[in-house]
Chain A
């Protein structure tokens, strides 16, 4: 192997040598072969242009007419002439030799291809295991050698056997590659070498260039160094001169400083090279008197420095401050508490625990990270945990009951409320399940024990295994125990709470409604708000990333609390109002989550509504809870958006209530008309059309009128409800002395069969609210284009109502007023309104007649703006040219053929003439001989 390599190397060396001497061996041959002998002098002539002609295209300028002509003739000779010759023959001779049909290949290339084919045949599959017997190889190499290598080496060195062997090896090695590569040039060794030659030479050239540039650079560097040295020397000399003050005597003192400055300036450049000089420099400068800059500097040293002002605090810092304040307060409270009473109550423990955590974690930067810093006391074994779980499960129910028993005083409502609460729980569970899809899913939004397990697993995934569970359990335990204690020692606790007015300052966000209930139980409204605010402050989202989750959970809980509160029978309306503000602020902090909460609740409410419509039991109309939630959302979210993720479903739900709920009692009417006014308040800004509300109001008005509307009208407008049921509910029979606005809350509070709903007073009050709503709608929809169609029937209805005898005067007045308003608006609209013109056509532009100018106009280019026409024109032109060309070709073919035929004929003629001449000559000879009488003589002589 090494040997062969060596040989190859040798070969390479030889080749290199040969390259230098005979660079263009084979190529030169090829060139010579290719260069055509210009036998026709016309072919060498280029077409000449005599004058430049303005605007004429210079296309096809450089061509040799003679050459192209002869080429064309050649081509015809190859094709047409062949055909012509063949036309009289019945059999054809086909040349199947390799490369014979390809004109591009020269003799040499043809030979290459042929030898390649030969190689292939030789090293084909069949002959793979044939041992080569030198003869063939010799034949091959000799055949190759005649063209390639040996020519090159002829004069360089005698051709030895070793080299030959090497070549053989090489060719054998290459044969594998050759099978794949059919390219003619690679096949032969010689051509390969030639290629290498070219390559190597290029490399060499590049090397040379690089070397040169390196050399040049080195020289430059050297020069630079020398220059620097010289400079240094000069500087040294100069400074010594300057210090010796020889110069000073020569020059004026004023210029001296300038000179020094110049020196100073020069010297820093050389700082690295000689340190001595630089060391001297400051001495020199310090000796001189201070310049202007120094003076200023010395003055400024004694100036009063500007104080940095306090930066405005970022929201995070504000939140941090708030939290720290609360922490401080909490600590103080704890201190006070421990000092005053040290009764190790479980309730106390519960209050203390979060604060302990707080204190531990307060040292670190990350305050919310209370899970990791956990007191070891709460850590418990698995067995304990299981026991606790059971306990918790048991006590969970108790706790529910107890909290209910506490929160609601009246026993008769208990059942209803517990239902409600279980509904709420279901709601929350559903929410939790559905929310798992969302990215912000709140794992801790589960308040039942079943879901708690899932919860734990999730936490496990995120954090350590045992600790959170232990903590959670203990927390749960604490809560349940607290609930138990509440249950047992209710009275005692009451006293304690009233005495213990101060609340904990730092409150962990409750994770379930029970926790929250336990927290706010028996507190006054203001205290509850304080609790909520403190929870928000101590778990502000800006403090820590995990707080977002906590706050989301807390938001859900608070919303649930709000809903529960709204459905409580002795309604704490003030607390509801107070809760609005924190809820709104919190939803502005976590808008996405609050929207999802709202949507889930709306969905749930709608499902319940559908159920109740189906079963037809009880009133389908929304409860106070639903109403206040809807109102809350309409306050939190903008109502005027074209499409809003919460408000659109909400208003759909409200309208569905108005459309589908059957009216069966006075309470229903009141709720419905209140819903109308809510719709009004929602649509007031956006002026959106809400047909359901108007129909509902109209139904109520029709019901109030004594006169029976004709049946046709009824069928037209009151299809959806049975008027007969509503009629007695709103007919005012007696005079009503004075009308005060309805109290919404009391209406909602009252049971359906209350006597209030049967009184005329109530009816009048409902009608007042109806007419107020109607007025609002009239004002909103005044601009809509079909306002008259919508409201004019109502106006006639109102006038009819106003004329009724029992109608109270204030109502009559109102009815007339609104009717008048409708009439005015309708008339105005009748004046203004135009028939619809919905089909907006584009205005057709006027045809412009001003002349168009083209910049840089080029003659002959097509400026047609119509694309298709241009395209067509182009194609036509192409067709014409092609046809012309074809005709020309045919004509030339004809000429050519005629030429050939003429030549043939001439040839024939010539032959004929020759034969004729011969015969004639013979005859003439005969005749002359005959005449001269030599005929006989000659014969005689010959004989």
Chain B
């Protein structure tokens, strides 16, 4: 019976499927068939194919693939390269992002990963933090925290002691190697990280620094800017630190952050201070490129009132 079921599945999966069915299948596959199947190896073909497609489908197939790799000893050559390519901003708005982040964390769990790979992932994530919503930024910080803790060798990303002589010679070599440096590579402030590079080996992440994380300190959302401070503790000392649980952050969204903010008790309410209480709702000096004139037909009703302010923009 089991064999028959497996055969049926495999033959179905071998068919060239349209994209929507693909999505459907990959979504249900990890839930249902993997534990039932008699022999898992044939369906790995399907999964690798779907993983190669990229985008949402590969995110979905990632979990099944992960099970195959960990439990059934599947070899997958460019797994991490593909995973690296999956890190795009859309992931942070996708529906199944929680599962994806947890998987990402567990994929990067091994301390045996090479430093360049971990650094590339870290830098990529931190670069993403510039474009994602606050909930995504929280997940990114948690992921970076875990990566930094697992790989003490990449802590130079957040803490680099400034030895000028060493760096200068290195930078000189860089200027020869790197074509995008364009003469400014002598400076320490230049980011050597190549975000466009899809191969983590060539991304030069180890020579960069996580300025983006520093940027997040000024994030408008207090949760994020508070959370960044957790990276300040020395994560190389493993005894004193603990890993973050990605699950706590992975399912975050605007709604959760907003709810947390609304749930806070109102203790005191500071008010804005003005020397002169402003009289207009929108002043044009504050809003470049806009005017707030009343139109003639709109102001027809309030006819006896004085004419609305018609100041022009100062810029």
Contacts and interface: CB of A to CB of B under 8 A. Distances in A.
Contact of A836 (B157, B190, B219): B157
Contacts of B294: 571, 573-574, 745
Interface string B167-200: 0000000000000000010011111000110000
Interface in A680-697: 681, 683, 686-692, 695
A811 to B, nearest CB: 11
Closest 10 CB pairs between A and B? A769-B289, A833-B189, A719-B90, A772-B288, A835-B160, A688-B220, A835-B209, A839-B159, A772-B289, A595-B269
Nearest to B191: A789
Interface string A650-691: 011101100110000000000001100110010100111111
A768 interface: yes
B290 interface: yes
B146 interface: no
Contacts of A570: 297-298, 300-301
B293 A745 contact: yes
B251 to A, nearest CB: 16
Nearest to A593: B269
A337 B269 CA distance: 45
A836 B158 contact: yes
B220 A655 contact: yes
Given A577-B281, A636-B272, A572 B288 contact: no
B115 interface: no
Contacts of A610: 255
Contact of A749 (B219, B279, B298, B313): B298
B93 interface: yes
B160 A745 contact: no
Nearest to A610: B255
Contacts of A745: 292-295, 298
A689 B292 contact: no
Taking residues whose C-beta sits less than 8 angstroms from the other chain, chain A's interface range is 35 or more
Contacts of A594: 269
Contact of B214 (A525, A599, A719, A786): A786
A275 to B, nearest CB: 67
A631 interface: yes
6 contacts: A575-B302, A576-B281, A719-B90, A745-B295, A834-B188, A836-B214
B155 A839 contact: yes
Given A692-B133, A720-B93, A786-B214, A571 B188 contact: no
B158 to A, nearest CB: 4
A603 B211 CA distance: 34
A645 interface: yes
B190 A830 contact: yes
Given A577-B279, A717-B131, A836-B160, 17 more contacts: A570-B298, A570-B300, A571-B298, A595-B269, A632-B281, A645-B266, A649-B258, A674-B287, A677-B290, A689-B219, A691-B130, A695-B131, A719-B93, A744-B291, A745-B295, A836-B211, A839-B158
Given A587-B271, A638-B273, A690 B188 contact: no
A833 B287 CA distance: 32
Contacts, number: 271
A625 to B, nearest CB: 12
Nearest to A775: B288
Given A572-B302, A595-B266, A835-B188, A784 B131 contact: no
B260 to A, nearest CB: 10
Interface stretch (A216-224, A455-463, A578-586, A914-922): A578-586
A705 B130 CA distance: 22
Contacts of B214: 785-786, 836, 838
Contact of B219 (A587, A649, A688, A838): A688
Contacts of B93: 659-660, 719-720
Given A655-B220, A744-B290, A836-B160, A638 B272 contact: yes
A643 interface: yes
B310 to A, nearest CB: 11
A887 interface: no
Contact of B295 (A591, A652, A749, A776): A749
A10 B181 CA distance: 119
Interface in B220-272: 220-222, 225, 231-232, 234, 254-255, 257-258, 261-262, 264, 266-267, 269-272
A688 B218 contact: yes
A587 B280 CA distance: 16
B304 interface: yes
A768 B291 CA distance: 12
Contacts of B127: 789
Contact of A643 (B222, B272, B273, B279): B222
B270 A638 contact: yes
B282 A585 contact: no
A834 B220 CA distance: 24
Interface in A602-657: 602-603, 606, 610, 628, 631-632, 635-639, 641-646, 648-649, 651-653, 655-656
Counting chain A CB atoms within 10 Å of each CB, the highest count among B156, B161, B212, B254 belongs to: B254
Contact of B187 (A573, A596, A683, A830): A830
Contacts of B195: 716
A296 interface: no
Contacts of A572: 298-299, 301-302
Interface string A485-518: 0000000000000000000000000000000000
A587 B272 CA distance: 10
B32 interface: no
B258 A653 contact: yes
Given A631-B282, A692-B133, A596 B266 contact: yes
Interface string A698-736: 000000000000001101110110000000000000000
A112 B213 CA distance: 87
A691 B131 contact: yes
A368 interface: no
A837 B160 contact: yes
A677 B284 CA distance: 11
A742 B291 contact: yes
Contacts of A113: none
A175 interface: no
Counting chain B CB atoms within 10 Å of each CB, the highest count among A585, A628, A743 belongs to: A743
A691 B313 CA distance: 27
B234 A839 contact: yes
Contacts of A744: 282, 287, 290-292
A761 to B, nearest CB: 14
Given A743-B295, A835-B160, A836-B158, A677 B287 contact: yes
Interface in A741-760: 741-746, 749
A595 B210 CA distance: 38
A771 B210 CA distance: 29
Contacts of B130: 691, 786, 789-790
B68 interface: no
A524 B304 contact: yes
Contacts of A786: 130, 211-212, 214-215
B78 interface: no
Counting chain B CB atoms within 10 Å of each CB, the highest count among A578, A673, A719, A770 belongs to: A719
B40 to A, nearest CB: 31
Given A577-B279, A833-B189, A837-B160, A741 B290 contact: yes
Contacts of A638: 270-273
A765 to B, nearest CB: 8
A295 interface: no
A659 B253 CA distance: 12
A532 to B, nearest CB: 14
Contact of B210 (A632, A784, A836): A836
Contact of B159 (A749, A776, A837): A837
A588 interface: yes
Contacts of A691: 130-133, 219
B280 A660 contact: no
Contacts of A838: 158-159, 213-214, 231-232
A772 B298 contact: no
A648 B222 contact: yes
